[in-house]
Structure 1
Amino acid sequence: MNRLFVIFLILAIASCTKDTEDPMDDAKDCSSTTATYSGDIKAIIDGNCATAGCHNGSTSLPVFDSFDGVFAKRSAIRSRVIAKTMPPSGKPDLSQAQIDMIDCWVQNGAAE
């Protein structure tokens, strides 16, 4: 009886796996997207993030009023816009095109 229990326990433990799927791993194909900060991303950030009371330097939040400020937080920005936790509730959502643009910009090296 004990032997059967031990075998069952070993099989049960061996069949357990950890779900390692990360939503960030489902990366969009960005091979045909050539976004730059000055040409594409700045307008999205200025209109949706670097606004009064948010990331414009008037609060303790990171400041996104320059390439350097946005570049320093690019991965966090990407994660939060993909997860749709930014912009916060009460603010207009980014369009899927804007989310994809930020995603591809970061994936492709975050060019200025």
Structure 2
Amino acid sequence: MSGFVLAAACKNEQAVAPASVDGKFDCNVALVTTSYVYNVVTANCTSRGCHRAGGSDFSTADKLKSYISASRAVFTQRVTSAQATMPPSRFPALSQGTKDSIACWIEKGMPDK
């Protein structure tokens, strides 16, 4: 998520990595829901004064999902990939478990429940 403005200390929401089955991650979307992902994004992206409006508006869960639907490759590269650049280095990084959970949620169609 680009364009962080504030350098405030915010908690960094973390998740347990999805279970591995035969070397592949098994995403449990009963636990990784839109609400969970939106809470992670709120804690790490919008509460710091970023991504509230403009091109990457994550101010609501629906706007987050719309952005991801329209820009999945960009979101994945910046947030969940091994080379993720968001949050910027001046903020705590998302754990690999959190990244994997968000990636699984996207892969499963961004379920609400």
Does the TM-score normalized on the shorter chain lie above 0.5? Answer: yes
Distance 1:29 1:69, change over 3 A: farther
State the TM-score, normalized to the length of structure 2. 0.62
Instruction: Give the whole-Å Cα distance in 1 for the aligned partners of 2:96 and 2:49.
Output: 24
Secondary structure in structure 1 of the residue aligned to 2:76? helix
Identity %: 30
Higher helix fraction (1 or 2): 1
Distance 1:110 1:29, change over 3 A: farther
Larger Rg: 1
State the TM-score, normalized to the length of structure 1. 0.63
Higher strand fraction (1 or 2): 2
After superposing on structure 2, the runs of 4+ consecutive aligned residues of structure 1 that deviate more than 3 Å are: 28-32
Q: Which runs of 5+ in 1 are unaligned?
A: 1-27
Q: Deviations over 1:17-52 (max 9, x none)?
A: xxxxxxxxxxx94544212111x2011101111123
Residue 64 of structure 1: which of 43, 58, 81 is its match?
Answer: 58
Corresponding residue for residue 33 of structure 1: 28
Q: How many residues align?
A: 82
